[in-house]
């Protein structure tokens, strides 16, 4: 939950101000988030320039419900990875983009990590950029590795409701939620360094509850990771970065590895 937001009465807090809010997916989840954002804007809990819903389907649920000339919401028809290539590429040079936010879909792939890889390939076309698995699992109650190099982690060993906002009191245990993946992954990165495996980061794209049941990731965190990768890889230096998209309870972690140009490395 963002600082200053009251879980019991959001009206007690000042409005949270954003530029563009990007909602990933215009189906049932995206439709729910759009409805909640409308309520948040109407109640003065959120102020934003616009809400952009990204879906490859011209007939997605949000598009069907959208009225012509809607002053708040518009739908962009595109594949998610294609959209973020354009949007985040432009956001690097757009001053107002620092205030933008992304509402992820619960079922989306690791899109922001993939954008870092795609951006590195575009920036250094002669260098190999790839997703690599972790050297070992983080110390969390539940973890699984996937064939694509993503490592899924969770503090929950039970099934959580899809719309849980991860409050200070866990709805499942009925006790304090005294865990958060951000500090846990930073501890994991420190352990890797102590084991002689130094890496860049971790760069954590944190999805936190903002208002009316909607969680968001700040675009500034994604752009900061991109700048750090750019700076670390300058001069043909190799990069091995720990990257994750996380909430307090759940996350997807992996390494982004960028090799030097082969001829330069061998020369």
* DSSP-assigned letters across all residues of 27-46: SHHHHHHHHHHHHHHHTTSE
Quote the CA–CA distance of 211 and 40 in Å, as a whole number: 7
Encoding tokens for residue 37? 């954002």
Query: Are the C-beta atoms of residues 39 and 214 closer than 8 Å to each other?
Result: no
Instruction: Please give the pLDDT value at position 262.
Output: 86
Q: Quick one: pLDDT band at residue 12, thresholds 50, 70, 90?
A: low
Beta 46-47 vs 16-17: how paired, if at all? parallel
Residues 63-114 pLDDT 10s: 999 988 889 999 999 999 999 999 999 999 998 899 999 999 988 889 999 9
| Average pLDDT estimate for 19-43 | 97
Nearest to 37 by CA among 68, 61, 16: 16
Q: What number of CA atoms fall less than 13 Å from residue 56's CA on the CB side?
A: 5
| Average pLDDT estimate for 35-58 | 97
Instruction: Please give the pLDDT value at position 6.
Output: 42
C-alpha distance from residue 174 to each of 142, 166, 211, 212, 215 (Å): 19, 12, 22, 21, 21
Compute the mean pLDDT over every residue in the chain, rounded to the nearest whole number: 93
Share of the chain above pLDDT 70, in %: 94
């Amino acid at each position: 939950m963002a600082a200053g937001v009251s879980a019991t009465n959001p009206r007690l807090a000042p409005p949270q101000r954003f530029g563009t809010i990007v909602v990933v997916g215009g189906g049932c989840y995206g439709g729910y988030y759009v409805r909640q954002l409308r309520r948040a804007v109407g109640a003065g809990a959120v102020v934003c320039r616009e809400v952009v819903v990204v879906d490859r389907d011209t007939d997605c649920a949000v598009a069907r419900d959208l009225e012509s000339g809607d002053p708040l919401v518009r739908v962009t028809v595109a594949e998610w990875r294609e959209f973020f290539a354009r949007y985040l590429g432009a956001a690097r040079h757009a001053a107002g983009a620092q205030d933008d936010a992304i509402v992820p879909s619960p079922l989306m792939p690791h899109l922001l990590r993939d954008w870092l890889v795609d951006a590195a390939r575009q920036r250094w076309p002669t260098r190999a950029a790839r997703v690599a698995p972790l050297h070992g699992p983080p110390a969390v109650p539940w973890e699984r590795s996937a064939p694509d190099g993503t490592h899924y982690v969770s503090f929950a060993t039970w099934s959580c409701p899809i719309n849980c906002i991860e409050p200070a009191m866990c709805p499942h245990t009925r006790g304090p939620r005294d865990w958060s993946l951000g500090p846990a992954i930073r501890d994991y990165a420190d352990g890797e360094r102590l084991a002689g495996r130094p890496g860049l980061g971790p760069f954590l794209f944190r999805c936190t509850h903002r208002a009316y049941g909607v969680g968001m990731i700040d675009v500034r965190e994604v752009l900061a990771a991109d700048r750090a990768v750019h700076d670390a890889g300058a001069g043909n230096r190799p990069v091995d970065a720990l990257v994750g998209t996380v909430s307090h309870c759940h996350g997807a972690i992996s390494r982004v590895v960028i090799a030097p140009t082969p001829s330069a490395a061998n020369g």
